[in-house]
Amino acid sequence: MDETWHALGATPIREVRRRAAIISELTFHKPTVVDGAERFAWDDHGGQSTVWHFLPDGQALLLTLDPEADLSVGWDDYAGQEALYGDVPEELVRLVRDRPATSRSGNVTDVPTGRTIQWACGVFWFDGERWRVAEGLLDHCDETGIDPMIGSGFAYCLGAYRFGEDFLTPEAVVADTEHSWWIDADEGDELAVVQEIFARYR
């Protein structure tokens, strides 16, 4: 399995949520609530994205998308997309089924019925104790010979969260010229804005 997968599994879920929330705000994805679940997101403005949902009972859903990755079934294959969610608890899948599409992550539509489900090439969930790969995704990988971590763009889509490493500090965010942090502030106020974001998620 991928190093990033092991690092995610070794990170307490509270810290996973904290990093997801901070990265969401730093990349202009306002955190939202969907049927009681907190929703956070990231994207690179080039098509790759990550979406998290955290339920109050401790469960979580993680989706990765790289439209060009081997596990991307395509925006027009509803049955194939639905199948990737196989064995994920319904209380998690309902958070991404028949929901309005976001600006960065689209939906796959079943044309005869109009039903939708969020487009993703990586489907992972947390059962309250450990992270799991969706059985539907694993079944597809068994049939096609695709590696679930490589084929889902997992390491790239989770790179910003630095699992297995020290997380960013506000000072590091402001000084970072390599990555695109879309900080909504005047140049002199950037540090104060980022410090406020970090303070919200202690």
Work out the average pLDDT over 83-107.
Answer: 89
pTM for this prediction: 0.93
**Percent of all residues in the chain with a pLDDT value above 90, rounded to a whole number:** 74
So where are the chain's domains? 3-164, 168-202
Quickly state the pLDDT bin for 183 (edges 50, 70, 90): low
What pLDDT score was predicted for residue 190? Answer: 83
pLDDT in tens, 164-175: 999 989 998 888
Work out the average pLDDT over 112-140.
Answer: 96
What pLDDT score was predicted for residue 120? Answer: 95
Rounded distance between C-alpha atoms, residue 27 and residue 41, angstroms: 8
pLDDT in tens, 53-88: 999 999 999 999 998 899 998 888 999 999 999 999
